[in-house]
Amino acid sequence: MKKTAVIIGATGNLGTAVCKRLKEATYTIDPVWNNEKHPDASIEKSYMNLPKKINAAIYLAGVNLVKKAEDITEKEWDTVMNINLKGAFLFAKHALPGMKAAGLSTFIVISSIMATHPYPERLPYAASKAALEGLTRSLAVEWGRYNISVNCIRLGHLSGLMKSTKTNPNLLHEVKNKTPNHELIDPDEVAKYITWLVEGGGKTMSGSITDFDKGYTINRWPL
């Protein structure tokens, strides 16, 4: 019997890779979110018609803002928080009945190395991602009784910047220089790990935040 996955943010680079891997693992992907005309992830009504059974609920949606803290407007702050954090909460809330009905399910969110190693001028993004890590731990404690594992990936630099990121074009070049194997992260590597999680690998890791950055943030070798 095919299992069902709902992937919020399915149309991005990472989302496309995750959809491909899960389809290969015989998951049915909710078509509502696997569409360029998907609903707004930051509003509650978008989650009112989720599948009756959900084996994998994955929140990949996110936006960035590169701007000095003192210049960020209230609207800009709310936009980042609404998509990165509020949307994940709303998805979790409304996916719960389907995950409970599945009998064994996994909920996954994506944090960022900005939560622990922030770059300048990324305040709302870093704050929202740090909050997702708290959400992960809280839901793991609360949902363990339902046989739902909750996992978070603290993601480093993929081989391509987010669409909403406008920054120095030399950034990825310098990140590669400071990464021990001088490589960025292939989205398919993350997709394979997510597939392993939803196939049961994350059950004993519920509540964990996994660093996924090829050693970039811990590399302090000066030469």
Q: Which pLDDT score, from 0 to 100, does residue 103 have?
A: 92
> Dihedrals φ, ψ of 56, to 5°?
-140, 120
- The amino acid at residue 99 is M
Q: Which pLDDT score, from 0 to 100, does residue 44 have?
A: 98
Q: Which pLDDT score, from 0 to 100, does residue 144 have?
A: 96
Residues 150-178, buried b or exposed e (16+ Cβ, 10 A)? bbbbbbbbbeeebeeeeeeeeebeebbee
Q: Which pLDDT score, from 0 to 100, does residue 221 have?
A: 87
How far CA 39 is from CA of 49, 145, 160, in Å, comes to 11, 31, 25
Domains of the chain: 3-211 (3.40.50.720)
Q: Which pLDDT score, from 0 to 100, does residue 115 have?
A: 98
Give the number of other Cβ atoms within 10 Å of residue 101's Cβ. Answer: 14
What are the residues whose beta carbons fall under 8 Å from the beta carbon of 89, sequence distance 6 or more?
A: 135
- Per-residue pLDDT of the chain (223 residues), as tens digits, is 789 999 999 999 999 999 999 999 999 999 999 988 999 999 999 999 999 999 999 999 999 999 999 999 999 999 999 999 999 999 999 999 999 999 999 999 999 999 999 999 999 999 999 999 999 999 999 999 999 999 999 999 998 655 555 667 688 889 999 999 999 999 999 999 999 999 998 889 999 999 999 999 999 988 7
**C-alpha to C-alpha distance for 199 and 55, rounded to whole angstroms:** 9
H or E element that contains 210: strand 209-212
Q: Which pLDDT score, from 0 to 100, does residue 141 have?
A: 98
- Strands (DSSP E) found in 3-118: 3-8, 27-29, 56-59, 105-112
- The amino acid at residue 7 is I
- Spatial strand order in the sheet of 56-59: 27-29, 3-8, 56-59, 105-112, 148-155, 209-212
How far CA 181 is from CA of 138, 185, 191, 219, in Å, comes to 34, 11, 20, 11
DSSP lists the bridge partners of residue 7 as 58
Q: Which pLDDT score, from 0 to 100, does residue 160 have?
A: 62
Q: Which pLDDT score, from 0 to 100, does residue 165 have?
A: 57
Mapping DSSP to helix (H, G, I), strand (E, B) and coil, where does residue 59 land?
A: strand
